[in-house]
Amino acid sequence: MDFGDFLWSLLVFYFIFFYFIVLSRILQDLFSDHETSGLAKTGWIIFLLVVPFLSMFIYLISRGQGMAERAMAEQQAAQSAEKDYIRQAAGAGTDPATQIANGQALLKSGSITQQEFDALKAKALA
């Protein structure tokens, strides 16, 4: 195998890899779109199997803008859910009186010491 054959094989491998990346992104977008009917999804899949390159180009041209919008909306929803979880886990958003009352309950139950309660109270009031 000479260098030209190696480069040709590398190029073919690149295009095969690129084909599967684009195909997986199209299928991911197709199945995450809740507005498209099942019949339309089936039609796109059959079209992708029968004439793969032509159908990929048609899909990207006709639905490319929607793909980007759906991906951004999905990303924003995931980011919002992550922020909400972090706020809930960190206990942010609760008022100082609630934090002190929770600390008082922990102190009475013996879960924390007086020094830990004082530190929690100082943090809540800060």
Check whether 17 has a pLDDT greater than 90: yes
Contacts of 29 (CB under 8 A, 6+ apart): 63, 66, 67, 70, 71
Mean pLDDT (whole number) for 53-72: 91
- Please give the full DSSP string across 20-77, using - where no structure is assigned: HHHHHHHHHHHHH-SSS-HHHHHHHHHHHHHSHHHHHHHHHHHHHHHHHHHHHHHHHH
Q: What percent of the chain clears pLDDT 70, i.e. is strictly above it?
A: 95
Give the pLDDT band of residue 123 (cuts 50, 70, 90): confident
Q: How many helices (H) and strands (E) does the chain have?
A: 5, 0
| Residue pLDDT, tens place only, 78-118 | 999 998 887 776 665 567 888 888 888 888 988 888 898 88
Q: What is the pLDDT of residue 50?
A: 95
Given a cut of 90, whether residue 124 has pLDDT beyond it is no
Structural domain boundaries of the chain?
3-93, 94-126
Cα dist. 64→26, 60, 70, 113 in Å? 9, 5, 10, 59
What CA–CA distance (Å, rounded) separates 28 from 31? 5
